[in-house]
Structure 1
Amino acid sequence: MNPKSKVLSKNLYRFPMIILVTTFCLLGCRQNKSTADNAEVLAFVGANIIDGTGAEPIKDGVLLVEQGKIVAVGTKDNITIPEGASILGVSGKTIMPGIIDAHCHVGVSNGLQTGYSGENVVKHLNTNARYGITTLVSLGDGTAISAEFRNTQNVPTLDRSRLFMAGTVISGDTEEEVTKIIDHNDSLKVDFMKIRVDDVLGTSPKMAEDIYKTVIDRSHELGYRVASHIFYLEDAKKVLRAGTDYIAHSVRDTLVDDEFITLMKENKVYYSPTLMREVSTFVFGGEPNYFTDPFFTKEVDEATIAELRNPERMESIANSASAQAYKAALPTAMKNLKRLSDAGVTIVMGTDSGPAGRFPGYFEHLEMEMMVDAGMSPMEVIMASTSNTAKVMKLEGVGSLEEGKWADFIVLDKNPLEDISNTRTISSVWIAGNKVPDKQ
């Protein structure tokens, strides 16, 4: 997200208890009202089921859900529907696992207004859920509010997106500075640590190698995996040699080489392209076609769209040197994605959505479409957006439609294996076996 800054004051980590209580009331009270009796068995009958593992879809399938979890999945011939189960006919539809965004930022904006708040966390969790993005890995927020949402989500009454977090992005010029942030993140028991090794197109100093090596080593000692923000190939190689677990952006300055691929595969490091991050830097220099897309406008208010259409704003972005530089880097990012995928590097879908102008939920669908445009198959993209991410990021209970996992899935009107944009044809979204409510 933002360029490197000095260590944040203690006040950054303090939030009044009233904000936390109010936030949970906003989400928790609504959640209780919308949750069905979770004791019953729900039987989804007749859909084609993409289980997320890469297996052939199950035709005319049955998915049984009880107490928020999947208790059986298979063909009609192989699954016995319990007496008294509530049967939901979904013939002609496709069921797929809920989508996982492996790189986003939850709660850091509202429309075009930047600022972290509990209310924004609630909005992002609910908006993503309605778009079928049922699990979020937030790589840059370090507050007790996010931690509490993460800590209270393994319940059968959940009907908003799940949240995992990296805490505060670690930056600093000295071991003392970075250790302070590591200790703060550790106090929240974050799921990942994140470093930023980037000069922002030559405008900001990078974190020194000895400092980020210290961060990676200390994080591993504490049991945390480390995500690395990079731009340049050489920096990507350096963080790989230092022991990073996750390359959280595309290499964008040049085409990746065999050495990089070998480092990725030998160290079992996974890679998120975040193609829509690049798009977001320049696309508002004009009017993107999604300003009139109902799938976009159903969640984005007219005032935000009107502000994006402001001629002065558009002109400023169109004339921005950094926007044009990131635009020029996008084809390289797409070529690198294709090469890495073909080479067998594990790809996870991430968008860097959440900051102002990077619209949660909608951008994830565009990212998946761009991944196909880059040369991945729809099945490969679905796996990168579900089971691959859950497996390598160790997100328990999600990512595939298998017995014992949380019943987080999307019912689609059309088959995304035929056209990845069919992930937009959402009939309903279910999290822990609860139907996600419509926007209020």
Structure 2
Amino acid sequence: MRLFSRLLPSLGAAGATLLLAVSAAGAQSVTRAFTGATLIDGTGRAPVRNATLLVRDGRVVAAGPAARVTIPANAERVPLAGKFIIPGLINAHGHASSVANLDTYAAYGVTTVYSLGDEPAEVFAARDAQRATSPRHARVYVAGPVLNPTSPDDARAQVAAVADRHVDIVKIRVDDNLGTSPKMKPEVYRAVIDAAHARGLRVAVHLYYLDDAKAVLAAGADYIAHSVRDQPVDEAFVTTLRQAGVCYSPTLMREVSTYVYETTPPFFSDSLFLAHANREWMATVQQPARQEATRTSVSAQRYKAQLPVATRNMLVLHKAGVPIAMGTDTGPMGRFQGYFELMELEMMVNAGFTPAEALESATRVAAHCLKLDAELGTLEPGKWADFIVLDASPLERIQNVRRQHSVWVGGTRLSVP
């Protein structure tokens, strides 16, 4: 995977697309039968002991009890007795600034990333290549530049520009960064939403305040990409979200990242974290002056104080039947891709989700929210065979999602970068 990461920036979009397609093509001409594991297929059905997962050309052919799945004579058998298979994790709000980032996500079992903004050409090329064949890193979907128009005419022009780049979703910010910057005006974000919908594109919104969340929903926003953090959500907002079928991505670890580097966090000594962590980021956030600045930062302390509000709002919405899509906003400095997603799952369970519900939020529900459920999110016939093999059941203890034996995308095992 690192070889492709080094080559892609120098090739340009077309060359990178070709290289990625060629690199994966040979890996998808084989039939594999994964046998003996307990299968947690992501549908919500009971786990299947001694299951067989049959994969051909990167897609699931059959999945179920061994007695009900016929293995072709020419299939490569992958024995996994005592292991557990779950769908690959989907990050419904991350950021990828390089294909190397996609390697890192995959190294922790995040096999799909919905990147909400500012991806370079090589990431667009990776997105294009995966339409035909499975990549050797996490799948990626892109938003392109985060739009920041200042007038309705500017809004329509910016939407046209990203639509011409064939983005998967449009991203805007309706936030004043705790009173430190101008907020996009209603007539402007309404123009963005209307223009995007006219072109068949959905709109994801970065926000902070409940009043803004209500307003963008009324304007037709399709996806709430952060928590409401200023106050508890009310019944009117809950009802509107549920009736509209709009999904909500809490990104709790984004809030943690704003203040956790007041000191050196305990996870900096975790061997799993250290296996793939960005060491430059680690050095930066451990600088004494930076840690002191975080301790005295008004915004950091505000985000820290509001995290319990965000956490309670997530649980209220979940219990009311609003689809919650696991997301983290990883990608900016200090928001460690892949590892933070595992921590997000733990935060969800600590908030009141069951382990099964947290996993569904990161698989089936995320795929549904991102309109990817025809291809991803569960291990069912016809879908891409993206999955993680674990040494212990995550349904018994969510922390077991860290105990990864291997990660597979399109039925091919990924090497660790």
TM-score, normalised via structure 2 length:
0.94
1:432 aligned residue: 410
Does 2:133 align with 1:167?
no
Distance 1:258 1:313 in 2: 41
2:3 aligned residue: none
Mean alpha-carbon deviation: is it higher for 156-165 or for 285-294?
Answer: 156-165
1:337 aligned residue: 314
2:4 aligned residue: none
2:302 aligned residue: 325
1:220-369 maps to which residues of 2 (within 5 A)?
220-369=197-346
With over 3 angstroms needed to count, the CA separation of the structure-2 counterparts of 1:384 and 1:337, relative to structure 1, is: same
| Residue aligned with 1:298, SS | helix
Distance 2:137 2:124 in 1: 15
State the shift of 1:318 in Å: 1.0
Does 2:111 align with 1:134?
yes
With over 3 angstroms needed to count, the CA separation of the structure-2 counterparts of 1:18 and 1:417, relative to structure 1, is: closer
1:371-390 maps to which residues of 2 (within 5 A)?
371-390=348-367
Distance 1:31 1:131 in 2: 23
Deviations 1:355-405 (A, max 9, x none): 111011111111111111111111111111011111221114111100011
Percent of pairs identical after alignment? 44
Residue identity opposite 1:88 in structure 2: V
- Aligned pair count? 410
State the shift of 1:257 in Å: 0.5
The answer to whether the Cα contact below 8 Å between 1:227 and 1:246 also exists between their aligned partners in 2 is: yes
Does 2:392 align with 1:402?
no
Mean alpha-carbon deviation: is it higher for 217-226 or for 299-308?
Answer: 299-308
Distance 2:413 2:69 in 1: 22
Mean alpha-carbon deviation: is it higher for 322-331 or for 38-47?
Answer: 38-47
State the shift of 1:24 in Å: 8.2
State the shift of 1:36 in Å: 6.2
Equivalent of residue 419 in structure 1, options 394, 397, 411: 397
The answer to whether the Cα contact below 8 Å between 1:144 and 1:188 also exists between their aligned partners in 2 is: no
Distance 1:423 1:397 in 2: 22
State the shift of 1:157 in Å: 4.9
Distance 2:119 2:64 in 1: 41
The answer to whether the Cα contact below 8 Å between 1:105 and 1:139 also exists between their aligned partners in 2 is: yes
Deviations 1:110-140 (A, max 9, x none): xxxxxxxxxxx11111111111111110111
With over 3 angstroms needed to count, the CA separation of the structure-2 counterparts of 1:156 and 1:194, relative to structure 1, is: closer
With over 3 angstroms needed to count, the CA separation of the structure-2 counterparts of 1:390 and 1:18, relative to structure 1, is: closer
Distance 2:162 2:353 in 1: 35
RMSD of aligned residue pairs (Cα, Å)? 2.0
State the shift of 1:167 in Å: 1.6
Residue identity opposite 2:387 in structure 1: F
Does 2:58 align with 1:64?
no
1:148 aligned residue: 125
State the shift of 1:27 in Å: 9.5
1:178 aligned residue: 155
Residue identity opposite 2:41 in structure 1: D
State the shift of 1:84 in Å: 2.2
